[in-house]
Structure 1
Amino acid sequence: MVVSSSNPQNREMAIRKRIASIFNKREDDFPSLKEYNDFLEEVEDMTFDLIEGINVPAIEAKIAQYQEENAEQIMINRARKAEELAAAMAASKGNPSQTDNDGAASQSSQAGVSGQGQYAPTVPGGQPRPTGMAPQPVPLGVGPDIHGYAADDEEMKKLQAERGRRAGGWSIEFSVSRKRALEESFSSIWIC
């Protein structure tokens, strides 16, 4: 599978995400640190070659072969990662991890994970759905302004308008010079 995107950064991120989901072994899956580092180096070499478009068919064949030979291990590692993420989400919400099955099932359902280790649907941005009621933002123009004054006062509205013009770069001097420039430019136009 070749990932194509107009943005090179998005393309690289997509390739790295894909490779990481397939070659997802951890250090404890290897008998020695050297073997783990060799594995990481080989994966990074393949990732770099895919990003740069070097020998892509051979790398894709190697990825397919690895997926076929290690399908069970890949799924186990994905499930382990999902469980760790669910536990981390539960811990961040203040739910202590429990060892009994009933507690773990209720904890995982609160964390957005079903009993089989599958994630519940997320919002389009990829973030988990919020579970609690968050404080709602106050709309602008309702209640006192940031200085504590009521916005209904006519004098306050004029002051806010003047501050807005100054904040936007408008000044009376600019207005006068602009008016004179416009008058000079239009006075030089000859209509025949």
Structure 2
Amino acid sequence: MVISSTNPQYKEITIRRRIASIFNKREDDFSSLKDYNDYLEEVEDMTFDLIEGIDVAAIEAKIAKYQEENSEQIMVNRARKAEELAAAMAAIKAQPAQTDNDDASQNSQAGFGTVPQGQYAPTVAGGQPRPTGMMGPQPLPLGGSDAGYIVENEETFRRRARAGGWSKEISRKRAFEEAFGSIWVS
């Protein structure tokens, strides 16, 4: 399959969708996590090579061979994904409407629709449910509740800021440019 598009992002998206529809095994299809990770790494290597145009003929042959050998499992996994999506859509449509006007207006103001506050909405494609309420249980960031927000001391903060490319001079220059850029002379 040759993709001729001038937009490289379109090319990458097209290739990734195609590869994902063929190599659609899940973790529970493997006997160990290592086997699953090896599979994912191999798929990503092939995807990268196709995007970059590296040895395309050999990769296309490998994809065709895999598709031929695993056609039944590919179809089963596609059907399973479609069933999960249909079930999620049905669950979303089956959510009961709020009768209490205060709760309904509070939820709609927060952008959560008709899902009761503090409950979970179904996910679209597996994984964990999404929190929908303002006061309900919320997921914590990786590494604990304060991960990434604690700075040990001011020197550590300055060192991290410099490593990220930030400096006082750049901030000062930007502030002056923004201030003087807003002055209109007539």
Structure-1-length-normalised TM-score: 0.49
Offset at 1:95? 5.6
Tell me the CA shift for residue 94 of structure 1.
2.0
Taking the aligned partners of 2:16 and 2:4, their CA distance within structure 1 comes to 13
One-letter amino acid of the structure 1 residue matched with residue 74 of structure 2: I
- Which amino acid in 2 is paired with 1:87? A
1:51-101 Cα deviation digits (max 9, x unpaired): 0000000000000000000000000000000000000111111269xxxxx
Stretches of structure 1 lacking an aligned partner (at least 5 in a row) = 97-176, 178-192
Alpha-carbon distance between aligned partners in 2 of 1:92 and 1:3, rounded to the nearest angstrom: 37
Question: Which residue matches 1:58?
Answer: 58
The aligned residue for residue 10 of structure 1 is 10
CA distance in 1, matches of 2:48, 2:41: 10
Instruction: Measure the CA separation in 2 of the matches of 1:5 and 1:80.
Output: 32
Correspondence 1:3-152 to 2 at 5 A: 3-94=3-94
Bigger Rg over Cα: 1
**Local SS of the residue matching 1:3:** coil
Q: TM-score, normalised by structure 2?
A: 0.51
- The sequence identity of aligned pairs, in percent, is 81
Q: Distance in 1 between matches of 2:73 and 2:61?
A: 19
Q: CA-atom RMSD, angstroms?
A: 1.8
Structure 1's 76 and 95: CA in aligned 2 closer, same or farther, altered over 3 A? farther
CA distance in 2, matches of 1:2, 1:27: 30
- One-letter amino acid matched to 2:44: E
